[in-house]
Amino acid sequence: MADRPATLRDVAAAARVHPATASRALNPETRLLVSEDTARRVAAAAAKLGYRPNPVARSLRTRRSHTVGVLIPDLNNPLFPPIVRGLEDKLAAAGYVALLGNTDADANRERMLFEQMRARHVDGFVMATATLHDRMLAEAAAAELPVVLMNRLSQDYSFPSVSVDNEQGARMAVAHLARLGHARIAHIAGPQEASTGVSRLRGFRDGMAQHRLTVNEDLVTYASRYTVEEGAKCCRELLARRESGDDAAFTAIAAANDMLAVGCYAAFDETTLQCPDDLSVIGFNDMPFIDRLRPPLTTVRFPHYQLGTEAAQLLLERINGGEGPVKILYLAPELIIRGSTASPAHRDAAHEPAMSQEPADPSAADAPAVHT
Amino acid sequence: MADRPATLRDVAAAARVHPATASRALNPETRLLVSEDTARRVAAAAAKLGYRPNPVARSLRTRRSHTVGVLIPDLNNPLFPPIVRGLEDKLAAAGYVALLGNTDADANRERMLFEQMRARHVDGFVMATATLHDRMLAEAAAAELPVVLMNRLSQDYSFPSVSVDNEQGARMAVAHLARLGHARIAHIAGPQEASTGVSRLRGFRDGMAQHRLTVNEDLVTYASRYTVEEGAKCCRELLARRESGDDAAFTAIAAANDMLAVGCYAAFDETTLQCPDDLSVIGFNDMPFIDRLRPPLTTVRFPHYQLGTEAAQLLLERINGGEGPVKILYLAPELIIRGSTASPAHRDAAHEPAMSQEPADPSAADAPAVHT
DNA sequence: GTGAAAGCGCTAACAT
DNA sequence: ATGTTAGCGCTTTCAC
């Protein structure tokens, strides 16, 4: 019918009221300012004309774009799709849309995307890329732009955030290996600019101490990025050091995340070493399809989709004027035992896959827990 | 400095020109309308004030939002992250951002997202969800909204589109199995509402005919969605029919995509059947990490990232007034031979993984080819 | 409860 | 080459 989309004026004309009145009648927050009767008339006119409010005009007037910027390292990391879906689903339910930006762990790219999104007047940011001392965070705070951190935290400023309890997860990984009888355990640490790398390393040391195991510093390597390639590189280094003496004859590797663990698989493929017969490997994240690898990876799981929805929730609270205390939300990790970990003693008997109970640790709750 | 962000009026005032002149000076497309000197003065003033144009105001005026709607079935399908990255990278380079929508193959959800994005005044759509007879397409066409189809095509209307040559890919899959010596080949077809499902089924029949093989209709099952669950369900059906007679004693399954193939793995796990010893499986897509499954999946690859960039390119051309002929772009498929396919005869000798040459088919070019 | 008037920040006619 | 004018569609004072 109408080639030119109906505007508020058209609706007002059809309902024989002033545009301002039509606006009030249509907006849920101001409907109570107009009489029942006119509200109904306006609604009817709007329906008949197929009126759709123009969000651009509204944004210009209200200075709220109903868009949020979401900065992640790389959508190709299988960890992120479910998180992003959680985020988008929750935001969509509140009438918001997400502008996605992949930083590729490049500070310049990150800064550029941040600027571009600010220019587009996003109402807030969800950042999964924050490094520990992030200038952009200070900037966003100064501009009073709501920011929620996801997956990683910041030390300098206290921002609302959602993440898994990384230390606890790393401790659970070490405990699992220790229970199997491993004593010399290597660690492939994540980037130390990110809180996940730091926390998981700390959890690793902590877990080792709890089990009266010594951390051999030669058996702690540092990945510069969370990629399969970096994992393979670090694993090769570890394997090289393994020759160097009894102290270095580790039997298991705790990787700071699943990508690094997959890198270990790749490194093993270059040798005659078999997992878990010769070496056990444990990851972190339980990313999609990791249970179908050869062997299925033992890892530490957290609820990805929910991480996204909770982050969205926190951001929406801030956007909607929430001036309350800053919430730091931790989701409980859960140990998922699969075929990549086995007892080091049973080198010959270990050819069948390890038992696979899911969830393995009954003490790991599914529900999120607010710490502090 | 300025707590209230600088506006064009501020810049104009600082440069002692009229706002309209400042606008012309700052806009690359109209800069030639002002003198060198004032252009420089305005630029300097803008820089000094840290001026950032307000895209919302601009959109309201120009009726172009520099956003595009992207409808995909589900971001959790590993096929899509690389495609989306290609899309977003290309769009970002042109100053556009993507609004992502997951339809979950639900027509209602799809419609809702479509409406919401239209309400947000997107400048165009990239749709990876088009079913063959899609009402929304007609609607978009009627509204003269640029639309590009990605991965799937539409029969009714002729829209610009980018996809892999599905028939050719399916033929290559069948040819590979035939070369290995398989004669009774089952097919798990994709949803027949989608062009991929139809084309790959047609390619399957075609390939069988080319190799003088008979298609047993009992060995063609139809998945209602491209999911692991549907794949497992279809595979179970096939396995049940397999008992029913010699004609049905198939030795290989060609699945319409990798998710369905993974479903076959899952179904095998419920039996004593081993892949590829007892049954060969071939997929379609070569999605990320599929090469790390047990066994690594033989499949048909196409360049995912490039699919996204080409789709973005086509859409940008349409948005920028391209009234030229509709382009239908096909990317060439490539056979990737891995461990899930083996010769049916060598049932006992086939315990070691099959040779894995990548790329296997030297005739499969990397570069995209425009057919017709 | 409703109308009037103004303006968010920008750009496109039209004038000069 | 630059200034003038007007308006994109909406919301929000302020009157009445």
pLDDT digits (tens, 9 = 90+) for B307-318: 999 999 999 999
Q: Cα A28–A29–A33 angle (5° rounding)?
A: 95
Residue B365 included in any domain: no
Residue A370 included in any domain: no
**What is the spatial distance, in angstroms and rounded to an integer, between the CA atom of A45 and the C1' atom of C1?**
19
Averaged over A98-117, what is the pLDDT? Answer: 91
* Nucleotide nearest the Cα atom of A8 (by C1'): D9
The owner of tokens 């959508």 is A75
Per-residue pLDDT at A345: 67
State the average pLDDT for chain B. Answer: 88
Residue B361 included in any domain: no
pTM comes to 0.88
Lowest mean pLDDT among B182-191, B273-282, B312-321: B312-321
Proportion of chain B in helix, strand, coil states, percent, rounded to 5: 45, 15, 40
- Pick from B83, B121, B58, B104: nearest CA to B307: B83
A85 & A105 share domain: yes
Per-residue pLDDT at B351: 41
Chain D nucleotides covered by protein, CB below 7 Å: 1-5, 7-13
Interface test with B, best of A109, A120, A281, A304 (most B CBs within 10 A): A120
Residue A187 included in any domain: yes
B150 & B140 share domain: yes
Alpha helical stretches, state H, B165-254: 166-180, 195-210, 228-242
A183 & A287 share domain: yes
**Burial state string for B67-95 with b = 16 or more CB within 10 A and e = fewer than 16:** bbbbbbbbbbbbbbbbbbbbbbebbbeee
Interface test with B, best of A1, A3, A56 (most B CBs within 10 A): A56
* CB-nearest partner of A55 from B75, B119, B292: B119
* Nucleotide nearest the Cα atom of B61 (by C1'): D8
Number of A–B residue contacts, CB under 8 Å: 94
The CA distance from A99 to A91, in Å, is 11
A139 pLDDT exceeds 70?
yes
A208 & A345 share domain: yes
DSSP annotation string for A171-231? HHHHHHHHHHT--SEEEEE--TTSHHHHHHHHHHHHHHHHTT----GGGEEE-SSSSHHHH
**What is the spatial distance, in angstroms and rounded to an integer, between the CA atom of B296 and the C1' atom of D12?**
63
Contact between B102 and B74 under an 8 Å Cβ cutoff? The reply is yes
Beta-bridged to residue A241, according to DSSP, are: none
Residue B59 included in any domain: no
Name the token pair of B186.
């089952």
**What is the spatial distance, in angstroms and rounded to an integer, between the CA atom of B312 and the C1' atom of C7?**
37
pLDDT band at A368 (very low <50, low <70, confident <90, very high): very low
Rounded to a whole number of angstroms, the distance from the CA of A214 to the nearest CA of chain B is 34
The CA distance from A122 to A135, in Å, is 19
Residue B352 exposed, middle or buried by CB count within 10 Å (0-12, 13-18, 19+)? exposed
pLDDT tens for each residue of B286-337: 999 999 898 999 999 999 999 999 999 999 999 987 778 899 999 999 999 9
DSSP-based three-state secondary structure for A4? coil
- Pick from A73, A302, A88: nearest CA to A191: A73
The CA distance from B169 to B153, in Å, is 16
Residue A1 included in any domain: no
A184 & A215 share domain: yes
- Pick from A294, A214, A299, A292: nearest CA to A260: A299
The owner of tokens 């101001």 is A30
B141 & B282 share domain: no
Q: What is the CATH number of the domain that holds A234?
A: 3.40.50.2300
Contact between B280 and B251 under an 8 Å Cβ cutoff? The reply is yes
CB contact (8 A) between residue A121 and residue B57: no
B352 pLDDT exceeds 50?
no
Per-residue pLDDT at A12: 93
B354 pLDDT exceeds 90?
no
B260 pLDDT exceeds 90?
yes
* CB-nearest partner of B76 from A265, A288, A293: A288
The owner of tokens 């010959």 is A348
**What is the spatial distance, in angstroms and rounded to an integer, between the CA atom of A27 and the C1' atom of D15?**
22
A84 pLDDT exceeds 80?
yes
B55 to chain A: nearest residue by CA?
Answer: A120
Contact between A128 and A301 under an 8 Å Cβ cutoff? The reply is no
A87 & A160 share domain: yes
A250 & A343 share domain: yes
**What is the spatial distance, in angstroms and rounded to an integer, between the CA atom of A54 and the C1' atom of D5?**
25
Chain C nucleotides covered by protein, CB below 7 Å: 1-13
B329 alpha-carbon distance from chain centroid: 12
Residue A102 included in any domain: yes
From chain A, the residues in CB contact with B274 under 8 A are none
- Pick from B258, B253, B230: nearest CA to B241: B253
Strand duo B299-301 + B334-336: pairing: antiparallel
First CA to last CA distance, chain A: 59
From chain A, the residues in CB contact with B89 under 8 A are 102
A132 pLDDT exceeds 60?
yes
CB contact (8 A) between residue A118 and residue B52: yes
Residue B35 exposed, middle or buried by CB count within 10 Å (0-12, 13-18, 19+)? exposed
Sign of CA dihedral A186, A191, A194, A198: positive
B350 pLDDT exceeds 60?
no
Where in the sequence is the domain holding A74, given as residue range(s)? 65-164+305-327
Per-residue pLDDT at A79: 94
Q: What is the 3-state secondary structure (H, E, C) of A91-111?
A: HHHCCCEEEEEECCCCHHHHH
Strand duo A252-255 + B161-164: pairing: unpaired
**Number of domains present in the structure of chain B:** 3
From chain B, the residues in CB contact with A89 under 8 A are 102
The CA distance from B221 to B240, in Å, is 12
Other Cβ atoms closer than 10 A to A13: 15
B348 pLDDT exceeds 60?
no
The CA distance from A189 to A171, in Å, is 14
B198 & B290 share domain: yes
Q: What is the 3-state secondary structure (H, E, C) of B24-57?
A: HHHCCCCHHHCCHHHHHHHHHHHHHHCCCCCHHH
Rounded to a whole number of angstroms, the distance from the CA of A9 to the nearest CA of chain B is 16
CB contact (8 A) between residue A293 and residue B293: yes
B86 & B108 share domain: yes
Protein residues with beta carbon less than 7 Å from any atom of strand C: A 16-21, 24, 33-35, 37-39, 57, 60-61, 63; B 4-5, 7-9, 19-20, 23, 26-27, 30, 51, 53-54, 57-58, 60-62
Contact between A98 and A128 under an 8 Å Cβ cutoff? The reply is no
CA atoms within 13 A of residue A216's CA, in its CB half-sphere: 19
Averaged over A242-246, what is the pLDDT? Answer: 78
B172 & B280 share domain: yes
Whole-number percent of chain A with pLDDT over 70 = 91
The CA distance from A210 to B117, in Å, is 54
From chain B, the residues in CB contact with A120 under 8 A are 55, 97
CB contact (8 A) between residue A55 and residue B120: yes
B346 pLDDT exceeds 70?
no
The CA distance from B30 to B32, in Å, is 5
Q: Smallest Cα–C1' distance to nucleotide C8: which residue has it?
A: A61
Name the token pair of A345.
């003693």
Lowest mean pLDDT among A46-55, A295-304, A351-360, B228-237: A351-360
Lowest mean pLDDT among A189-203, A228-242, B142-156, B300-314: B142-156
The CA distance from A279 to A340, in Å, is 8
**What is the spatial distance, in angstroms and rounded to an integer, between the CA atom of B157 and the C1' atom of C15?**
46
Phi and psi dihedrals of B10, rounded to 5? -60, -45
Residue A369 included in any domain: no
DSSP-based three-state secondary structure for A328? strand
The owner of tokens 């005032």 is B13
**Number of separate helices (H) and strands (E) present in chain A:** 12, 13
B313 & B241 share domain: no
